[in-house]
Amino acid sequence: MSTPAWSSHTRRPDLEAALNALAQIHHVAGDPPQVTLYELARLATDALQVERFGVWCATEDRSAIRLYFLYARSTGAVADGTILRKEDFASYFRAPDARTVCIDDVTSDPIAADLLVPYLQPLGIGALLDAPIYSDGLPSGMVCHEHVGGPRTWTDEERLFAGTVADNVSRLLEEGLRQRAEQNLRVYQRELQVLNRLEAMGRMAAGIAHDFRNLLTVVSASVELLAEEGLAPGQRSHLDNMLAAVTRGQDLAHELMHFGRDVAGRPTVQALRPFLDNLVRLSAASLGRCTVEVHQEREVSRVLIDRPELERVMLNLLNNARDAMGGSGVIRVEVTQATEDRKSAGLGRAVSIAVVDTGIGMDADTRLRVFEPFFTNKPGGTGLGLAVARQIVSRAGGTIEVESSPGVGTTMRVILPVIE
């Protein structure tokens, strides 16, 4: 141990100045540091007259340290990335984490023994002054001041200075973490705002759609009355166009009303087989040249859900399957017991109702967005079918999943808890 610097050396004015500069960084408590790691590295390497300044951080499992930032004084270059596993350098890492390592001559100090050949010698490092950094009050890494060249005697003053530098690095890194956390929070808040807006929009749309549908009912009744009168063929086709437009308007209003609704209808116990048989009859008109085949495993499952709502879900899925197959083909409806390992396993015993088509399928982008309200790839589509379906299914305690590949087809799977 050398004699304390304070008594044996005159205080070094350059270190004194550097310390003052470091103190300035934090002279207003609570203010974020006004320097970058780069500036700190320059200040420290100039003051200590060392070539390399490295910030090493412990990996999550603390089995290794990773070079987070390296500054070389002679070139001003920075680097990062190297990883040193603690078990490979037992002599260095044997001592507790939170201590300053002060090595005057790496060739003779036992602490440096394991580092000598693989690390220190190739880089020409002759002496080390490493001080611990902390995160949340716990040791989390080291700031390493590496002297390139032969041995050198570190003074106590230099050791203290290295500790102050490390404290500044700790604060700088914690500040970075805090800023990242704040940024994540801001992103989250923005997403929440969008969701709230969507919800408000849904309510508003439902309100408007309700009034709008009543108006359309008046229009459609009048159009139908007009149609009963003896009309010329030209006039008749105008009326048909009006009726088609009004019907589409009514459908849209209906979807919008469902989209804005946030309470379940009146859930009742539904046995699936009769429900699906009825659904096949119900959907025949809108499916045109598509046919539906129902396949069901063993016993009949029962679910608890508002019947018209489940019909709406299934009709939306069938209509999408029809569109994907260009209006003709076989759509399979497969009822199976949902397997345990599904994401939806939390449901307990569950049934899966899959609507399988061999249509155009979806690309990855579409697959990610199908449940987004107003997302549609169809001219004249509402983009509400699947948004509504998901709302209804999740209100009933279930989930809805999509599996699709372009050119092969799509499977939409509704998973609902089963009533024993």
- DSSP lists the bridge partners of residue 290 as 329
**Contact of residue 375 among Mg ion, ligand ADP, none (CB under 5-8 Å per partner type):** ligand ADP
Print the binding letters for residues 399-418 with ligand ADP: x by CB under 6 A, - otherwise: -----------x--------
Name which of 141 and 385 has its Cβ closer to Mg ion.
385
385 touching Mg ion, by CB under 5 A: yes
- Other CB atoms within a 10 A radius of the CB of residue 410 amount to 25
Site for Mg ion, residues 304 to 323, rule: CB under 5 A: 320
Minimum CB distance to ligand ADP, residue 355 (Å): 7
CB of 376 to Mg ion, least distance (A): 7
Cα–Cα distance measured from residue 171 to residue 213, given in angstroms and rounded to the nearest whole number: 62
* 331 binds ligand ADP, rule: CB under 6 A: no
Pair of tokens at residue 255: 């979807």
**How is residue 62 written in tokens?**
């603390």
Contact string (CB under 6 A) for ligand ADP, positions 32-71, x = contact: ----------------------------------------
Strand order in the sheet with 399-405: 289-296, 328-337, 350-357, 409-417, 399-405
Which does residue 360 touch among Mg ion, ligand ADP, none (CB within 5 to 8 A, set by kind)?
A: ligand ADP
Shortest CB 227 distance to ligand ADP, Å:
28
Shortest reach from residue 223's CB to ligand ADP, in Å: 25
Residue 326 interaction partner, one of Mg ion, ligand ADP, none, beta carbon < 5-8 Å per kind: none
Closest residue to Mg ion in the complex (CB): 385
Taking CB under 6 A as the rule, does residue 205 contact ligand ADP?
no
Shortest spacing between CB 219 and ligand ADP, in angstroms: 23
Site for ligand ADP in 343-382 (CB under 6 A): 357, 359-362, 366, 370, 375-378, 381-382
Measure the CA–CA gap between 187 and 193, rounded to whole angstroms.
Answer: 10
Smallest gap from Cβ 378 to Mg ion, in A, equals 7
Q: Minimal distance in Å, beta carbon 364 to ligand ADP?
A: 12
Residue 359 interacts with, from Mg ion, ligand ADP, none (CB under 5-8 Å by kind)? ligand ADP
When CB distances are held under 5 to 8 angstroms depending on the partner's kind, the choice from ligand ADP, Mg ion, none that residue 76 binds is: none
333 binds, among ligand ADP, Mg ion, none (CB under 5 to 8 A by kind): none
CA distance 56 to 64: 10
Q: Select from 121-129, 288-296, 300-308, 385-393 the region that touches ligand ADP (CB under 6 A).
A: 385-393
The least distance separating ligand ADP from the CB of residue 389, rounded to whole angstroms, comes to: 8
In the complex with ligand ADP, the residue whose CB is nearer, 151 or 361, is 361
Output the smallest distance, CB 35 to ligand ADP, in A: 51
Interface pick for ligand ADP out of 33, 385, 398, 417 (rule CB under 6 A)? 385
Question: Which one of residues 324, 333, 393, 416 is an interface residue with ligand ADP (CB under 6 A)?
Answer: 324
Nearer to ligand ADP, 327 or 381 (CB): 381
Q: What are phi and psi of 205, to 5 degrees?
A: -60, -40
Residues near Mg ion, by CB under 5 A: 320, 385
Residues near ligand ADP, by CB under 6 A: 316, 320-321, 324, 357, 359-362, 366, 370, 375-378, 381-387, 410
